[in-house]
Amino acid sequence: MAGAFSVLSFDDDPDVLSVETVTGTISLDRKADISAAGVRFDHLRPTAHTAVDS
């Protein structure tokens, strides 16, 4: 997965992974895809600037 992504969470519906591509946005609802996005986010989080540094 390359590019921007968002995990959309809903109270009464399953989570959805939204992935931006060159040609548009793809919505995925497979648990494996959503889990992979969570792992990727967990790897990115430590590299983010703090509010003070950004």
pLDDT digits (tens, 9 = 90+) for 15-48: 999 999 999 999 999 999 999 999 999 999 999 9
- What is the per-residue pLDDT for 53? 86
Cross-strand bridge partners of residue 28: 17
Per-residue pLDDT for 54 more than 90? no
* Both structure tokens of 33: 């895809």
Domain extents in the chain: 5-47
Q: Is the model more confident about 8 or about 50?
A: 8
C-alpha pair distances (Å), 52 with each of 45, 48, 49: 16, 11, 8
pLDDT at 1: 62
User: pTM value?
Assistant: 0.77
